[in-house]
Amino acid sequence: MHSYFNTFLFFALMAAVQTIAYPSASSLYNPDSPSKGRHHRANDIAFLEGLTNNDQDMSGREGDDPEKYFHESIFHAHYDGRFAYQTLPDKTRLPHLRALVRSYLATMHDLGAETWIMHGSLLGWWWNQRIMPWDDDIDVQVSEPAIEFLASYHNMTVHSFAASDLDISDPDEVELMHSGKRYLLEVNPHYANPSTDDWQNVIDARWIDIDTGLFIDITTVRVNRTAEGTMGRPKGSAYRYPEPPQHLYCKDEHTFWSTQIFPLRTAVFEGVPVRIPYKYQELLAEEYGESALTEREFLVEKHFFDQAKMERKTSKRGSISPSFHLRNFLKRGY
């Protein structure tokens, strides 16, 4: 018995050695052919090696002020040019955005970082608990303790999700994400500067889809410590439910009362639990006007107005066609 086994081992070993020594013509690649070379990376994205498939940096870094930390891509303001070369078509952009927001909310919940949706995302929630069909970004806010925690312990961390982790059931979407998704959490070092004069760095952190370049802008809601009645208040629970209400602000110069945001409410957005500000209706009306909450036509019009303004500014068109927006918005009843 033993000797048969040894003989078998001997031949098995020889076979293995042979395979190594003489690769057959049908092997995975031809070692003599020239390599396509992912290694010719531009130096400015070299530190992302292993994360990005881009060979070239498509971020607008060169045209930006050196003080600015986050760079929007040269092809679209809502894509990270270190991770993509082009915008996505509507058909795949929306599923990727949905996965983006779900992965973000799940991760922040896991980490215990307080966050809620705001601006255009809150408006999308108001109309249909979903991302607006024309959106290409998600707006969220975090509290001061949350950004400090993310900056200290989770900067540049990569978070992986399988399609099944993201509760995706639509077969087309499962297919789209069959190889899983990876997201990068990147915190702007200028988050530590609370001044609104630092207008180049109003975005405190980003949650970036490494495969598509889409991202979520994360802004911190801060206590205005120079405003009357808020000096020397302790952080922690007093941050949330202070008496009298505190003046809060973001570096993008939006201002709020603490009682407008806290205590946060729980709602559902894109099929998953989400936090929203306490006085969501008042905040939306302040930002977009009452009619954006009641008149669908007004909202669509306003969207086209904003889009036209943005296009004049960047003199570039995204991949989103107005007819698509209008059709979907009116048909699906957003």
Ligand X SMILES: *[C@@H]1O[C@H](CO)[C@@H](O)[C@H](O)[C@H]1NC(C)=O
**Interacting residues toward ligand X by CB under 6 A:** 151, 155-156, 187, 189, 191, 196, 224, 226-227, 247, 249, 255
Asked if 260 and 283 touch (Cβ cutoff 8 Å), the reply is: yes
The two beta strands, 247-249 and 265-269, are unpaired
Instruction: State in angstroms the smallest separation of the CB of 61 from ligand X.
Output: 13
Identify the bridge partners of residue 142 per DSSP, sorted by sequence position.
Answer: 115, 220
Instruction: State in angstroms the smallest separation of the CB of 196 from ligand X.
Output: 5
**Number of other residues whose CB lies within 10 A of the CB of residue 16:** 10
Q: Select 224 or 307, whichever has its Cβ closest to ligand X.
A: 224
Identify the bridge partners of residue 73 per DSSP, sorted by sequence position.
Answer: 59
Q: How far apart are CA 147 and CA 149, in angstroms?
A: 5
The closest of 69, 44, 93, 58 to 218, measured between CA atoms, is: 69
Asked if 300 and 131 touch (Cβ cutoff 8 Å), the reply is: no
Q: Select 261 or 300, whichever has its Cβ closest to ligand X.
A: 261
Q: Select 87 or 246, whichever has its Cβ closest to ligand X.
A: 246
Q: Select 96 or 119, whichever has its Cβ closest to ligand X.
A: 119
Instruction: State in angstroms the smallest separation of the CB of 276 from ligand X.
Output: 22
Q: Select 46 or 308, whichever has its Cβ closest to ligand X.
A: 46
Residue ranges of E strands in 148-283: 157-161, 181-187, 205-209, 215-223, 247-249, 255-257, 265-269, 272-276
The closest of 241, 111, 205, 103 to 161, measured between CA atoms, is: 103
Q: Select 152 or 315, whichever has its Cβ closest to ligand X.
A: 152
Q: Select 155 or 319, whichever has its Cβ closest to ligand X.
A: 155
Instruction: State in angstroms the smallest separation of the CB of 257 from ligand X.
Output: 12
Instruction: State in angstroms the smallest separation of the CB of 167 from ligand X.
Output: 30
Q: How far apart are CA 113 and CA 105, in angstroms?
A: 10
Instruction: State in angstroms the smallest separation of the CB of 197 from ligand X.
Output: 9
Taking 3-state DSSP, the helix, strand and coil percentages for the chain, each rounded to the nearest 5, stand at 40, 15, 40
Instruction: State in angstroms the smallest separation of the CB of 204 from ligand X.
Output: 9
Encoded tokens for 12: 């098995």
216-250 per-residue burial string, b: 16 or more CB within 10 A, e: under 16: bbbbbbbbeeeeeebeeeeeeeebbebeebbbbbb
* Alpha-carbon dihedral sign for residues 226, 229, 232, 233: negative
Instruction: State in angstroms the smallest separation of the CB of 152 from ligand X.
Output: 8
